[in-house]
Amino acid sequence: MADRRALVCAMIGPEMLDTTGGQTPAHATEEPRGCLFALSQPPLMIFLGVIGLLLLIASVHDLFLL
């Protein structure tokens, strides 16, 4: 087992361990998005509104007409 672990560690080159970060990551310049970012999209809100309306109509039908 020790020989296999040494073999795996030997396969990692020094360029793979370089953490100096010569380039800035792409996401560093963008604004961070919150957890509710997807809910601010109009098509999703329209879809959820239609589904909510269908559920409301179904529940009113079940409560008052059946």
Tokens of 7: 């073999």
SS3 62: helix
Task: Please state, in angstroms and rounded to a whole number, the distance separating the CA atoms of residues 24 and 32.
Answer: 15
pTM here? 0.45
pLDDT at residue number 21: 62
Task: Please state, in angstroms and rounded to a whole number, the distance separating the CA atoms of residues 16 and 12.
Answer: 6
SS3 16: helix
- Is the pLDDT confidence value at 7 over 90? no
Whose tokens are 């604004």? That residue is: 31
